[in-house]
Amino acid sequence: MMNKFLYTIVAVSMTFGAYAQKSDGSTKSLVKAEKEFAEDLAKHGAKTAFIKYSANDALVFRPNPVNAKTFYATQGEDKNLSWEPVYAKVARSGDWGFTTGPFMADGETKTYGQFLSLWKAKDGRWELALDLGVTHNKPLNKVEPSFIEPKDFYKPKFGGDKQRAAGVDIIATTEKTLNTMLKSYGIAAFAGFLNPDARVLFPGYEPIIGKDKALVFFNGMVKNMSLKTTKVDKADGGDLAYSYGVATIDYKADLRESFNYVFIYERQADHNWNLIVQAFAPAER
């Protein structure tokens, strides 16, 4: 009887593990996976949760990008980190999406900030592909949740490596153009690349939401910015893409600082690619 009981417990555990992170191509399933990730960390610790939820090639910025599983293999089971997604979107092809929202680390002193996570679907499961955090003071403003479902489902029937590479080149060219414009016209160049609902995550500041507010923020303190792109990737559905690299910022206060950045692009009706999320975290030289 005891053996049968133990067998049942093991079977239930295996079933739960199989359905955790389940992806059906919806934003709802991605938000569920993100919340399960947070619950798993609270219960078992950071090392277990990150190794369980991360893809083999996932990157975490600590502060510079490192392999997630390699990094957390040497870490302890810290359970003092909590977070909640408030903004999420999945590509129409259902192959990847992103989440962002507030986090809190409750150590000797409380640390507050915003996270940005990219997820990719593999074998019907969401896997963490990239994770970056931006710190700020205790938040004063509450951000209303916005979980945006794909308008339709589309995935090329005959998409292969050659077609994906061509799609990635488009994003790389877009970011190269942005960088050239930043060098020529300064921070005002962002005006032609930001979506009306764009949000900026920048150290020391709560999320800056909206193109107008983002431009006021950048124009208020940044003189110049240059981008050195490390990698770009594009969803098979052709509607979302991301890049990451190092941004060098010259402030108006005669100070220069380097940041790891992650940009998320969205394809517009006019076929241009606009920025919908920009996240900056201090880089270590």
Q: What is the pLDDT of residues 202-261, one digit of tens each?
A: 999 999 999 999 999 999 999 999 999 999 999 999 999 999 999 999 999 999 999 999
Could you tell me the two tokens for 245?
């690299």
Domain interval for residue 102: 27-148
In this structure, the answer to whether residues 188 and 108 fall within a common structural domain is: no
pLDDT band of residue 159 (cuts 50, 70, 90) is: low
pLDDT of residue 23: 86
What confidence tier does 15 reach under pLDDT thresholds 50, 70, 90? very low
Q: What is the CATH number of the domain that holds 181?
A: 3.10.450.50
pTM over 0.85: yes
Residue 175 and residue 123 share a domain: no
User: Nearest Cα to 207, choosing from 275, 117, 118, 140?
Assistant: 140
In a domain, 227, yes or no: yes
Main-chain dihedrals φ then ψ at residue 143, nearest 5 degrees: -100, 125
Cβ–Cβ < 8 Å for 116, 244: no
Distance CA 192, CA 215 (A): 11
Residue 3 lies in a domain: no
User: In the structure, what pLDDT confidence band is assigned to residue 185 with cuts at 50, 70 and 90?
Assistant: very high
pLDDT at 8 over 50: no
Does 116 share its domain with 180? Answer: no
Report residue 73 as tokens.
């293999």
Q: Is the pLDDT of residue 12 over 60?
A: no
- Structural domain count, the chain: 2
**Res. 18: pLDDT tops 90:** no
| Cβ neighbours of residue 261 closer than 8 Å, sequence gap 6 or more | 227, 244, 245, 246, 247, 278, 279, 280, 281
Residue 155 belongs to a domain: no
